[in-house]
Structure 1
Amino acid sequence: MAKRIIEDLCSALNIAALLIVGSVTLTPQSVFSQGFSTRASEAIPLVAPAVQGDTGFVVVAPDRGFLGNEEVRDAFRRFSELFRAELAFLPWDGDVARYVRRAVTRLSDRGAGRVVVLPLVVADSHPLLRRLEQSFRDDLADVLMAKSFGKSYLAEEVLIDRLKASALLNPAVRGSGRDGDSEGEKTAIVIVSGGAFGDEEEIRGIEDEVQGLVRPVGSYFDVSETRTVVLRHITGGVDGVQASLEYFKVEVDQLVESHDQVVVVPFYLSQRMDSMMDEVQFLRRQVDGKQVVVLPPGPLPHELVTLWMCQEANRWVPLRKDEVGFVVMPHGSDIDWNESIRESLAELEQDYPLEYAFSMADSEVLRRSVRRLEARGYRGIVVLRVFSMESSFRERIDWLLGLSEMSGNSMGMGLPKRVRSASLFATLGGVEDHPLFARALLDRALEISTRPTEEALFLLGHGTGPGPSNQKWLDNLASIREQINDLGHEFASVHVANWQEDWPALRDLAVAEIRALVDMEIEQGRAVLVVPARIAGTGPEIGELAHLEHVRVGTGFAPHPLFRTWASSQFDAGRRLLMEAVNTATDR
């Protein structure tokens, strides 16, 4: 029936078999050959549990017609080789759950004690998914529903890939007749979704969800305006489809008038009987003769759809202790600094599978470490942030791993590539004023001390710019000072300060204040012990103070044995955090 309706609509709208984009006519195949392939260049491992347990999965997707359904089957095939899984399409007419019930029965026959549905839709507001949820309440009460594809950061990544691919089109096709990098060129993007056949509230719901996917686009691309249009499905009647296409045309016309370039991105599981009876061709018909680029339909084909299936399925299979690996991420410096960290943790590698990612949350370095752990068979990964402050690079690392919508400090550059992975992640870290850190710094002071009661101790941190974060750093140092006093070691005086070394104007003031305090202590006849309150090594202490008479400079936390103790406690806490999060969810 759906095929007949689409054929009728194609005839009514006189849809051509060729795609017309601006003044250039392209077949679907030639569009892909000009760079629209969305296949990622990197071979991404599809990690899966060693023991499947009793959980089975049903991937559900709207019925798209033969070619569209084949694209879904292609994405599903590799997933089904790794997990106990079935595929069920949601028909537009009649009982929406009829194929799901058959899939559930097959999984039960294959030993599944419980079934989780993975919805391959861009929006939870999709009417077929809403109907399926009603069936769950009526007669599939034991079946569980996972998060949909559209709620995953991987959906955003697919959208970003499609927009990047569009840059490979000939600039003449893109609308302005000028090079795409021309100064002042204004680009608008129209994201098209579909599947609605209900009231306006249903359309607004889909629009709002799709708009959430579009949010990162402005950070990756120079886009002056983004709009979202939701097409109605033929199930709701031809008049509704035509009205939504007219609305799309009006939106595009407005953007063409005010922009040099308009890019239309169909981003939903559109109807695709074959390459000619393709719902996206309706869109192309509306912009025939205009300087507008209509990209091929998405999100399929794209390997990240399969990756999403694996990642979401991993959330529903209990995580074992021996499936968790660890990424150690310190700031990093020269070989001596880096080796002080590695050597400190070397003996822990017997109990904790470790990979290192020395950097300030660099995407490529983190991705490399994740891939190495995945190649070793780990599907749960804990990233230990080995920085002085718990907040240091936390937002950025969480964003890189798909754990947060906040990207953190971009350090003056564009957003980095996120780590595309089927693994499950947790992050933690920051030594702050940890008691082990305080005890280690005391030991560092005693290593260079001869008569504590006649010596002034300086605990000097890196610090930040002006504001609460620098004060938080100072508060931590003050807490460490109190802990040192509580441990019974009485120095003549203990000073705390930050170098604020990455902020030149503040640094000069900090250096002057620290130097004045040091000179004051020396004038009072005291030796000065300088201990860098750092993860490892030293900071400006050597250049600013070490040359002074009566000044002795120590070193930071690593490679003190207590650094290893701190790291192992963090590994245990991170693994426990990740396992509890996954295993609590799997108990649903």
Structure 2
Amino acid sequence: MRNSFLFKILILLIFFNMAIYGITAEASQTGFLIVAGDRGAVGNEDIEKVFRRFSSEYPAALSFIGWEEDKYSPYFNSAIKGLRDKGAAKVVVIPLMVSSHDPHFRKMEKLLTAQAKEVFGSGFNPLIAPPLKESYLFDQILFDHIQAISKDPEQERLVIAGFGAETLEDSEKMKEEFYSLLNRVRRFWNFKETTAAVFFHPHAEKKAREDGGKTALQIITNTAAKKGRTLVIPMSIGMKTDSAMSFFGRLKAMLSEFDLTMLHEELIGHENILLWLKKTANQYNLAKPGEIGVVLMPHGSNKLWNDTVDKTIEPLKNKYPIEIAYGMADYSTIQEAVSRLESRGIKKIIFGRMYALQESMKAESDYILGLSREPQIHRHHIADFRQLRNSAVFTTFGGYEKDPDIASALLKRAEEMSRNPEKETILLISHGSGDDELNKKWLSVMGRNAENMKKASTKKFKSIKVAALREDWPDKMKDSLMEIKQIIEEGNRDGRVIIIPNRLAGSGFYREVLDGLHFDMNPNGIAPHPFVMEWLEREIQKAMGGIGVSPLVRQRKDDMESAENKVLHDKHRF
């Protein structure tokens, strides 16, 4: 009987290992097919250099697509077979092209389905990822180039030069995309004028090519003829048979007689191209064990405040790779934290905003993380165009105030100060918001927490009130102080007032702004109450279930736990 039990333990261990290795195998079953337009000898070499760096980390194959797409079938077929032979059960196509209006994109779509089904079978459909211009990293390339050559935007005009149109419709669609990009440029640089010009592919129909070329050249030359400095920045992956026989070289020659400044760097050489390829792959890949990390963003203050938060978070560092980025969505601290995680092999990151409301600092941090292309400039910050240069993908959470368990932490702080509950008014004071609607919402959430405190308490307090100081907005803080003063005066008429800072840590400068009023105050915020760590872990676990584990893996885990429970049950029988 003892041997039977040991045999079951052995089976369980084998099953456990199969499950673990199954997770790894499943996470690596996606193969990536990089498809690029045939640029000519030197241009293709540039593509291949980037591809080699990408394929050193991901199961990948490269295929070029040319104007006569049928002649490129063998390249597609060979690349897709290569992925199949590497064990890929799924294929994600990453089009190394700026726009879906590039005719090479259409030719790729036409060729892709037939070749993929020939290799994998009739029911197989590869996924096509969005092209480069859909990523914020494309914006950042342009922003870098502007930084490199612009001297005085208010005296400058900016022209984006594109390439590759086959039809007038292609050209107009590409220009529309560039105009959207230029709208984002104008949020950070006040140029006198911005516009875009798109040149046609050499293989486009002759009249369309010549007419389109004249129109594009005229846009640039007319802009250059105006007073002020004109900047021309090519934002395309054009032809490049050699350095002279290239879109870049020909454009330079065409514009040599005009008084303008042209960028001398090609798009494909920018570091963001590789980051974009890797980030795209990480979006489609399941995370392997050890590839999920966490960045937490508390507000930050003096050492006492920071140490309190650090100690609260510390136990979680034994469970998860965690980095802290103190601040109000500060680009540099977030970039450093993310880079530290990526240096440890992290490919998916859970970003936690340790702020009271879900909305707090969300728009600002989402822009930095690349989850939004709409910058939200905080009142304490200056405009900063920078977004993360990284390849990990993000999911986020924030807003501990809505968690009903916060009531236990606030109640604990009240009970620490209480002597005669029936005569005590508990006053919860939060930071507050400058936005009236958001401040109203914050007070409503605090009101619910106050009700939960009353229900959970074994002591019957005289009352539990809530207030928001709105401390960063002097005009609004003035009105808030009047309300708080009234609550304190009423509470003192036949009792005592206890202020509980409804803050993550510390008590801010409440005592200073309330000087002259009679009250007691707990100097501690919510941390280091266990609620904070428990809230963080709940949110981390919830996020991990969404970004790193597939339903199949979860089922394996459930099966494994059931098998383990059965063995333990059998052990007790023996």
Asked if TM exceeds 0.5, the reply is yes
- Whether 2:64 is the aligned partner of 1:89: answer yes
Aligned-pair CA distance for 1:83:
1.4
1:361 and 2:329 aligned: yes
Deviation of 1:446 (Å): 0.7
Structure 2 residue corresponding to 1:499, chosen from 454, 465, 469? 469
Instruction: Report deviation, 1:94.
Output: 4.3
Shift of residue 410 of structure 1? 4.0
Q: Which of the residues 105, 117, 121 maps onto 2:81?
A: 105
Amino acid at match of 2:280: E
Is the counterpart of residue 120 in structure 1 residue 96 in structure 2? Answer: yes
Asked whether the 8 Å contact 1:402–1:418 carries over to 2, the reply is yes
What whole-Å deviation, never above 9, does each CA across 1:441-469 have from its counterpart, x for those lacking one?
Answer: 11101110011111111111111225201
Match of 1:373 among 341, 344, 347: 341
> Is 1:78 the counterpart of 2:53 in the alignment?
yes
Report 1:154-165 matches (<5 A): 154-165=137-148
Q: Which of the pair is proportionally richer in helix? A: 2
1:534 matched to which residue of 2? 503
Aligned residue for 2:107?
131
Structure 1 residue 116 displacement after superposition? 1.9
3-state SS of paired residue (1:254): helix
Cα drift, residue 285 of structure 1: 3.9
For each residue in 1:374-414, what CA deviation from the matched residue of structure 2 results, as whole angstroms up to 9, or x when unmatched? Answer: 12221111111000111111011111111112222243512
Q: 2:519, 2:484 → 1: CA distance?
A: 15
Q: Give per-residue Cα distances to partners, 1:79-115, cap 9 Å, x unaligned.
A: 1111121211111224154422221122223333332
Q: Which amino acid aligns with 1:240?
A: A
Supply the AA of the counterpart residue of 1:123: S
Cα distance in 2 for residues equivalent to 1:474 and 1:216: 35
Amino acid corresponding to residue 161 of structure 1 in structure 2: D
| Cα distance in 1, alignment partners of residues 471 and 28 from structure 2 | 53
Say which is worse superposed, 241-250 or 450-459, in terms of deviation. 241-250
Q: Can you list the C-alpha shifts for 1:64-86, whole angstroms capped at 9, x where unaligned?
A: 11111111111111111111212
TM-score, structure 1 normalization: 0.83
Question: Aligned pair in 2 of structure 1 residues 366, 185: CA closer, same or farther (>3 Å)?
Answer: closer
For residue 186 of structure 2, what is the aligned residue in structure 1?
218
1:511 aligned residue (481, 494, 503): 481
User: Against the structure 1 CA distance between its residues 284 and 581, is the aligned structure 2 distance closer, same or farther, given a 3 Å change threshold?
Assistant: farther
Over residues 200-233 of structure 1, what are the superposed CA-to-partner deviations in whole Å (9 max), with x where a residue is unaligned? 2222222223333444322333323221222111
Partner of 1:39: none
* AA matched with 1:241: R
Matched, 1:68 2:43: yes
Q: CA deviation at 1:241?
A: 2.8
Cα drift, residue 163 of structure 1 = 2.0
Alignment map for 1:469-480 (pairs within 5 Å): 469-480=438-449
Q: Which runs of structure 2 are paired with 1:150-549 in the superposition (5 Å)?
A: 150-167=133-150, 180-181=151-152, 185-198=154-167, 200-296=168-264, 298-411=266-379, 412-488=381-457, 489-522=459-492, 524-545=493-514, 548-549=517-518
Q: Secondary structure at the match of 2:466?
A: strand
**What is the deviation of 1:520?**
2.3
Give the drift of 1:274.
1.0
The AA in structure 2 aligned to 1:479 is R
What is the deviation of 1:322?
Answer: 3.0
**1:552–1:316 distance in 2 versus 1, CA, 3 Å:** closer
Relative distance call for 1:550 and 1:203 in structure 2 (3 A) is closer
- 2: CA distance, partners of 1:432 / 1:224: 46
Most deviating of 426-435 and 318-327: 318-327
Between the aligned partners of 2:367 and 2:411, the Cα distance in structure 1 is: 36
Query: What is the alpha-carbon distance in structure 2 between the residues aligned to residue 546 and residue 165 of structure 1?
Result: 52
* Distance apart, 1:315 and its partner CA: 2.0
Structure 1 gap ranges (5+): 1-48, 168-179
CA distance in 2, matches of 1:154, 1:433: 34
State whether residues 24 and 289 of structure 2, in contact with CA within 8 Å, keep that contact through their aligned partners in structure 1.
Answer: no
Q: Which residue of 1 aligns with 2:520?
A: 551
Question: Contact 2:488 / 2:518 at 8 angstroms: preserved in 1?
Answer: no
Q: Pick closer, same or farther for the CA change 1:280–1:242 going to 2, 3 Å.
A: farther
Q: Secondary structure at the match of 2:539?
A: helix
Deviation at 1:525, TM superposition (A): 2.2
Are the counterparts in 1 of residues 36 and 64 from structure 2 also a CA contact under 8 Å? yes
Give the secondary-structure state (helix, strand or coil) at the position aligned to 2:400.
Answer: coil
Letter in 1 for 2:485: R
Shift of 1:321: 4.9
Within 1, Cα distance between the matches of 2:155 and 2:185? Answer: 15
For 1:114 and 1:510, locate their aligned partners in 2 and report how far apart those are by CA, in whole Å: 58
TM-score normalized by the length of structure 2: 0.85
2:30–2:88 contact (8 Å) kept in structure 1: yes
**Tell me, what secondary structure is at the counterpart of 2:465?**
strand
- Whether contact under 8 Å (1:234, 1:240) holds in the other structure is no
Structure 1 match to 2:132: 149
**Paired amino acid for 1:369:** A
Which structure 2 residue ranges, 5 or more long, are not aligned? 1-22, 118-123, 554-574
For 2:416, give the aligned amino acid.
Answer: E
Aligned to 1:226, what secondary structure does the other structure show? strand
Q: Deviations over 1:481-516 (max 9, x none)?
A: 111222244311222111111111222232233123
8 Å Cα contact 1:532-1:555 kept in structure 2: yes
Q: State the secondary structure of the residue aligned to 1:457.
A: strand
Q: Please give the alpha-carbon distance, in whole angstroms, between the structure 2 residues aligned to 1:91 and 1:503.
A: 60
For residues 211-268 of structure 1, give each alpha carbon's deviation from its aligned partner in whole angstroms, at most 9, with x where no partner exists. Answer: 3344432233332322122211111244433322211222123323444111111111
CA distance change for structure 1 residues 197 and 582 in 2, over 3 Å: closer, same or farther? farther
Matches of 1:342 and 1:94, distance apart in 2 = 58
Give the AA of the match of 2:107.
R
